[in-house]
Amino acid sequence: METTGQTRVLDEAVYQYSTLTTTDQLERITRVVSSGALSAIAGDQVREFEQHVAGHLGRHGAVATASATAALELLLECLPQRENVERVVIPEVCWISVPTAVLRSGRTPTIAPATNDLTPYWEQIEPLLHERTTAVILAHLRGRPAPDTQRIADELTQRGITLIEDCAQAWGTTHNQQPVGHHGLAAVFSTETHKLVATGEGGVIATDDSHLLHAMRAVGGNTRLALPDTAQGRGNVRMSEITAASALPQLNYLDDLRQALRPLQDALIDRIEDVPITRSILPTSVEQSPDLGADASNGSLVGVWLPTPRHAHRVADQLFRSGIRHWWPGPGDPHLAQNWPSTPTTSIGHIVDPACYLDIQIPVLDESHHPAFLDLITSALRLTEDECETA
């Protein structure tokens, strides 16, 4: 039974991180509205946001868009395309807009199976490469870096295959102590409501390729720039000034947010390690994996693998009843390839069942409430031995 302290902790928990910079956001937004310069052409907020993102990632430049879906579609539209149908390798676990963007670009997705890290390794990608494979999209999922990023990038470079990093869920995530998003030709980030930089909707593409930057800006709606000869036309997927004004204070606060989340994330990892039913925990402790442990994550999530989908479903249900934010990729979840309509399912087979996985969001919470929060999680995870045996 929940105690009064456990109930109160949820009233104090801040899950919507964007609210932590409300004052600075409103100040910027007020300036934008007062100036009347609401579009990127007339204003300076989008330009500043693009510059900050590029600087944060160590990239040459960035293009801000109305959504991450629009960003990926714009990027694929501006990549050179062969006459024959191209193939693009994508991960088994990613948001449904990834295969949709590939299909809309006239390319065919090939699905690389997920591993215990939710992302494929080179061993899962290499058998899927074909003479018509021109790109691989690698997702950094659930606030953690894809563990095999460096090797995948090196192998693809040797083969002349483009790497695109899907960093939608990876604000503040690092790999080898550098922000993710600097290995491939380009990286796509999201500012959707549930991200660490959250504006409701929004996206941004970062790259070092100046010709690609020009093409994306022109095709994406900047009428002051000439269209490339290969462009099929000009659309409008630009981010608004108000959206950029909301994103900038959050981007500037990102390092502080990671530090605010880290103590509770570390404590939760330690607590879950003592629960027998858990099969593995993500991220690992820093001692177990210095380059890919908790310090490489953005601090926002702790994932657990459980014995069966039934166990994961039961725990997810209990977390829901307790009011604790979490994610369980159960039946129908649009992150899973099996639920993507009209998408080819060519792969080398399934390795793990994502329905055995769930993760728990870390709120910003005063340290005095940490024990009560941890007790709520432990209560949800502790199933009886009889239930384990009959599941």
Instruction: DSSP letter for 277, please.
Output: T
pLDDT tens digits along 21-68? 999 999 999 999 999 988 878 789 999 999 999 999 999 999 999 999
Q: 3-state SS of 141-197? A: CCCCCCCCHHHHHHHHHHHCCEEEEECCCCCCCEECCEECCCCCCEEEEECECCCCC
Does position 115 have pLDDT exceeding 60, yes or no? yes
Rounded distance between C-alpha atoms, residue 278 and residue 275, angstroms: 6
For residue range 283-317, list pLDDT tens digits in order. 975 555 555 678 999 999 999 999 999 999 999 99
Q: Where are the beta strands (DSSP E) in 191-293?
A: 203-207, 280-282
The string of DSSP letters for 51-113 reads: HHHHHHHT-SEEEEES-HHHHHHHHHHHS---SSPPEEEEESBS-THHHHHHHHTT-EEEEEP
pLDDT of the residue at 30: 97
Lookup result for tokens 């108000």? 242
d(CA 276, CA 112) in angstroms, rounded, equals 31
Is the link from the previous residue into 283 a cis peptide, with omega within 30 of 0?
A: yes
- Could you report the per-residue pLDDT of 9-29, keeping only the tens digit for each? 888 999 999 999 999 999 999
Contact 94, 137 (CB under 8 A): yes
**Given pLDDT bands bounded at 50, 70 and 90, which one contains residue 5?**
low
pLDDT in tens, 257-278: 999 999 999 999 999 999 999 9
Burial string for 302-335 (b: 16+ CB within 10 Å, else e) reads: bbbbbbebebbbbbbebbeebebbbbbbeeeeeb
Asked if pLDDT for residue 152 goes beyond 80, the answer is yes
Report the alpha-carbon distance of residue 114 to residue 98 in Å, rounded: 15
The position carrying tokens 């990632």 is 57
Instruction: List 166's β-bridge partners, or say none.
Output: 139, 188
Rounded CA gap, 223 and 43, in Å?
A: 15
| CA atoms in the 13 A half-sphere facing the CB of 328 | 21
Is pLDDT of 241 > 70? yes
Measured between its terminal Cα atoms, the distance across the chain in Å is 24
Distances from the Cα of 88 to the Cα of 30, 69, 334, angstroms: 43, 16, 19
Q: What residues are paired with 163 via a beta bridge?
A: 136
Residue 73 reports pLDDT greater than 50: yes
The mean predicted confidence, pLDDT, of the chain is 91
Structure confidence by residue, pLDDT tens digits, 344-374 = 555 557 899 999 999 999 999 999 999 999 9
- Measured CA to CA, the distance from residue 156 to residue 57 in angstroms comes to 21
For the record, the structure tokens of 256 come out as 């502080």
Token pair for 299: 């601090």
Give percent above pLDDT 90 in the chain: 83
The average pLDDT across 84-101 equals 94
68, HSE (Cβ side, Cα atoms, 13 Å): 28
pLDDT band at 325 (very low <50, low <70, confident <90, very high): very high
- The pLDDT tens digits for 164-208 are 999 999 999 999 889 999 999 999 999 999 999 999 999 999 999
Q: What value does the mean pLDDT take over residues 116-142?
A: 96
Q: Beta strand pairing status for 357-361 and 178-179?
A: unpaired
d(CA 235, CA 346): 32
Amino acid identity of residue 357, one-letter, is Y
Instruction: Specify the DSSP element, H or E, that contains 8.
Output: helix 4-12
Distance CA 198, CA 251 (A): 9
Polymer length of the chain: 391
Q: What confidence score (pLDDT) does residue 232 get?
A: 85
Instruction: Compute the distance between CA of residue 108 and CA of residue 120 in angstroms, rounded to an integer.
Output: 18
How many alpha carbons lie under 13 Å from residue 343 in its C-beta half-sphere?
28
